[in-house]
Amino acid sequence: MRSDKIWVLDFDAPMDAIGPLTAQQVTGRFTEDVERVLTGDPGLIVSAARALAQSHFPDTVAPDVLTAVGLDPDTVLQSRDVLPDPGGTKKRTRDSTWPPLILQAWDRQCAFCGFDGQLLGVTVGVEAAHVRWFNLGGPDDSGNGLALCSLHHKLFDRGVLGLTIERTICVSESYSARTPRQEDRLRPPRPSDPHTAWHLIPC
């Protein structure tokens, strides 16, 4: 971490080895120079946060990452500020033909639950998902894609759901969810606050 001259740690572990860092509950912070630059330009924080979230996480996870650090994902992701690229590296572009190819290959159905919603013949709520994240080098080819409903896409990208080598679905042992009783499945949940009003809007 310290080799990039951006971070300072509160514990000196040889070669920044993970074992000692974890055992000591080490924390890190930006160097004074970096903090000075970020403090002097709030817009730079937004640009950096967006660049980091979008380059390291899929679209289903990036908003949650920004929320976790106290930033409004809507504001950050809609910002048009662009960080300069001193290395001049060329950014990978997504293949626009890949999503419809994946949806067609899976017959426009979620590979996990079979949801196949359509509105006027157009697929809704089903998305093309990378098995190996595009941001981490995952290719835009048919072998690296699944059609997943919006819910299962997000759970898949967050690591709640996964696939085994035998192509069976596995669920993280850390995941928990409240399952409604059978008689409650057709009724909307009641708000925990009795003063909360329901606003029903006819469609």
Residue 157 has pLDDT above 80, yes or no: yes
Q: Do 159 and 121 have their domain in common?
A: yes
Lowest mean pLDDT segment, chosen from 21-30, 78-87, 138-147, 167-176: 78-87
Q: Do 65 and 25 have their domain in common?
A: yes
The pLDDT score that the predictor gives to residue 44 is: 80
The residue out of 78, 108, 131 marking a domain boundary is: 78
Give start and end residues of each alpha helix (H) in the chain.
18-23, 32-40, 42-56, 62-68, 73-78, 98-105, 150-157
Task: Establish if 195 belongs to a structural domain.
Answer: no
Q: Do 70 and 114 have their domain in common?
A: no
Task: Establish if 133 belongs to a structural domain.
Answer: yes
For residues 195 and 4, the model is more confident at 4
How far apart are the C-alpha atoms of 74 and 79, rounded to whole Å? 9
Please enumerate in sequence order all residues whose Cβ is within 8 A of that of 72, keeping only pairs 6 or more positions apart, or say none. 66
The pLDDT score that the predictor gives to residue 163 is: 85
Q: Do 24 and 58 have their domain in common?
A: yes
Task: Establish if 184 belongs to a structural domain.
Answer: no
Residue 118 has pLDDT above 80, yes or no: yes
Q: Do 103 and 53 have their domain in common?
A: no
The answer to whether the CB of 76 falls within 8 A of the CB of 51 is no
The pLDDT score that the predictor gives to residue 24 is: 74
Task: Establish if 197 belongs to a structural domain.
Answer: no
Q: Do 61 and 128 have their domain in common?
A: no
Q: Do 133 and 74 have their domain in common?
A: no
Task: Establish if 190 belongs to a structural domain.
Answer: no
Task: Establish if 187 belongs to a structural domain.
Answer: no
- For residues 12-24, give the mean pLDDT: 70
Task: Establish if 203 belongs to a structural domain.
Answer: no
How far apart are the C-alpha atoms of 142 and 128, rounded to whole Å? 10
Q: Do 112 and 69 have their domain in common?
A: no
- Looking at this protein, which amino acid is placed at residue 50? R
Task: List, in sequence order, every beta strand (DSSP E) within the chain.
Answer: 7-9, 28-30, 118-119, 122-123, 126-130, 145-149, 161-163, 169-171
Q: Do 59 and 127 have their domain in common?
A: no
Q: Do 55 and 108 have their domain in common?
A: no
Work out the mean pLDDT of the chain and round it to a whole number.
Answer: 78
Residue 196 has pLDDT above 60, yes or no: no
Q: Which pTM does this prediction carry?
A: 0.59
The pLDDT score that the predictor gives to residue 152 is: 93
Q: What is the pLDDT of residues 24-49, one digit of tens each?
A: 777 778 888 888 888 888 778 778 88
Number of domains in the chain: 2
Which residues span the domain enclosing 129?
98-171
Task: Establish if 191 belongs to a structural domain.
Answer: no
Q: Do 47 and 107 have their domain in common?
A: no
10 Å Cβ neighbour count for 138?
Answer: 14
Please enumerate in sequence order all residues whose Cβ is within 8 A of that of 5, keeping only pairs 6 or more positions apart, or say none. 31
The pLDDT score that the predictor gives to residue 8 is: 81
Q: Do 65 and 131 have their domain in common?
A: no
- Looking at this protein, which amino acid is placed at residue 67? T
- For residues 183-198, give the mean pLDDT: 56
